[in-house]
Chains A and B, each alone.
Chain A
Amino acid sequence: RNYFPCRAQPKKKKKVDVKREQAQKDRMKKKIKKLEKAAPEMVPIEDFTTPLKYSDSNRVRSLPPLSFEETERRVLLMKKWCLFKQKQDKAEKKAIQTLVEAQQEALKELRLESEELYQAAIRRDEGLFPFEREGPNYTPPLPGYDPPEGKCVDITKVYTQ
């Protein structure tokens, strides 16, 4: 190793170097911060844009126009359906109303009996939610049915920053 005569100048260089390096680091950090701030790109929702291959003209069906009887039938059917649905809705609401009334009555009677039981009954049931129940099927499950095996490949696109 050679020890050259040291002077003030090399020391200055070192200080300037250090300062320059620090300045460079700060600039880099600022750039990184700017990039990170401007980062959030919107992930495109693939269900909202129809892919182009489905807007070809050869895809359009050619159907005969609807007859007068058919349109009439449809309009009348729609009216009957509206009436049916209205009745169904009213019946449901009435049932719920009686349910609530019956429960209120029960709670009133309970309060007359004992305050302590009433307080215990009013408390929230923690184990109730999340409530899970199997939905109604059209046909009951076949005993001893072996569903055919298949493979499911997940092709959803994952967007990363």
Chain B
Amino acid sequence: IELERSHYSDHEIRKLEEEEQLRRRKESAYDDDEAPGKTVIMAQDLEDKWEQKLLRFQAAPRITDADKNNNRTSLDRRLDSNLMLLVKQKIGNQELWLLPQAEWQPGETLRSTAERAMATFFGDRIQAKILGNAPYGIYKYKFPRAIRTENNVGAKVFFFKAFLQSSDLSQAELKEDYLWVAKDELGDYLKLEYLKKVNRFLLD
């Protein structure tokens, strides 16, 4: 409590006065002039009552069960940091852990591609707010020589950011393996070059 730059509040003045009265009563051996029914509830009693109520209240723990089990598929895990969704996808002939991506079809904007990617992985009933029309980061890579044609030398992956609105994912059906991962745990799953580019636009 701020003691140095404050004055006494109403409650504290009431408490002090009642203490004074009690002291005076004890010293001058029972003054029955003041009607005994006057101060039925003392300020001290109120404080005790409030203290009891506080002790009875138990807040939910910050470290949940999912933390103890290290269950990386649940959203209840690290409640103090942001979690990112990683999905296992098949690119070429490799199965990789990636941020969910979908190929761009000509005739749609990049943002609608991102929305389509979300719909494929979550089903239609997911609410996520995409922040802005512009991409946040880019990762480009060249295809291995076997697949390269004259026009397609490699691919560019543009990243968008979206906030999940509802944390109720029981309705959504995620088809493949998925993980909710914090920023420092990304290194366990992503490849080095990809990780370097992704880390640039992700804040913890």
Interface residues of A, Cβ cutoff 8 Å to B: 54, 58-61, 63, 95, 98-99, 101-103, 105-107, 109-110, 113, 117, 120-125, 128, 131, 133, 136, 138-143
Contact = CB atoms under 8 A, between A and B. Distances in A.
Contacts of B111: 120-121
Interface residues of B, number: 35
B137 interface: yes
A138 B62 CA distance: 8
Given A113-B156, A140-B64, A61 B3 contact: yes
A138 B60 CA distance: 10
B134 A139 contact: no
Given A63-B3, A103-B135, A121-B135, A109 B13 contact: no
Given A139-B62, A141-B60, A142-B60, A110 B7 contact: no
A139 B57 CA distance: 13
Contact of B133 (A105, A123, A131): A123
Is the contact region of chain A dominated by helix, strand, or loop, or is it mixed? helix
A148 to B, nearest CB: 10
Given A63-B4, A102-B200, A139 B61 contact: yes
Nearest to A96: B203
Contact of A99 (B129, B138, B201): B201
Contacts of A60: 7-8
B136 interface: yes
B60 A128 contact: no
Interface in B59-103: 59-62, 64, 76, 79-80
A59 B13 contact: yes
B7 A61 contact: yes
Contacts of B163: 133
19 contacts: A58-B8, A59-B13, A60-B8, A61-B6, A61-B8, A99-B136, A102-B137, A102-B200, A103-B201, A106-B158, A106-B159, A109-B158, A110-B135, A113-B156, A121-B133, A122-B133, A122-B134, A131-B129, A136-B80
